[in-house]
Amino acid sequence: MHVHNKAYAGVIGVTPDVGLYTACIGQCLYPLFGTSRHVTFGCSSTSTVLTLAVMATYPASPQTPEYITAVKTLAFMTGIFYAAMAIFRLGFIASFFAYPVLLGFTGGAALQVAASQIRYTFALSGHGSTWIDNVSLLKHMGNGNWSAFGFCLATLVILLAFKWVPVLCPQWKPMQYARNLPITLLLVMFFTLVNYGGQFLVHAENGTWNEGTVLAPEIVGRVDLKFPSNIDMDFSLVSHHPRFFLVGALTIAVV
């Protein structure tokens, strides 16, 4: 799930550590306040795309401190609205959404998240805020890193195999045992070791490999293993930009 949170952070336009902190903190707090033993807790493509839609016209560039502060403030305001809706039992509002609308929105969110991963698939630079911007990177596909593409393709094939082979061959005993493995975690570890040994995605220590060109991939790099010293939210933004931090937050909470 940490991989998913890193990807979602990239879609929104914040640094990867924000997604990692989101994954860790949520899983630590839910056992204390949650009521289900079976729930899977984490970020979703729906909340990611909604946040991106709200922040798309915000007057700050993605990845900048001002933008990240605004995203954190929006998330906090969304939590306030969501908690208020839970306290006053307003969940019935969701029943007013037509199923075809929700299905179409979920499909669109899936396309947006998939398109945002094109630059990672071919190790290209660029961050687009729309589906078209991300897909346009395919015109540089011929100059991409084909080792990175091979990693992605192999991962996808293995994941699909572990999903469908037990369904198509239910009597095959090896797959009956394999379906209980944390295959996503194992794949991340395996391909990380393969890349480390083969140096397929080698880049300069400071991330300056092909800097300024379309061949400069966005690599996570070093992430400090500590929690931030302060949570830099700015609540003055709520009064200055109510469309983003009141209307936008309420929309995210309802959907």
Cα 71 to Cα 62, 192, 206, 236: the distances in Å are 10, 30, 26, 13
Q: Does the predicted TM-score (pTM) go above 0.85? A: no
Cα 72 to Cα 20, 95, 207, 217: the distances in Å are 14, 29, 26, 26
pLDDT, position 81: 93
Average pLDDT in the chain = 77
Q: What is the distance between the terminal CA atoms of the chain, rounded to a whole angstrom? A: 22
Nearest-CA neighbor of 118 among 104, 89, 99, 139? 139
With 70 as the cut, is the pLDDT of residue 76 above it?
A: yes
Between 32-41, 71-80, 155-164, 195-204, the lowest mean confidence (pLDDT) is in 195-204
Report, as an integer, the average pLDDT of 61-87. Answer: 90
pLDDT, position 1: 44
pLDDT, position 73: 93
Looking at per-residue pLDDT, the higher value among 149 and 255 belongs to: 149
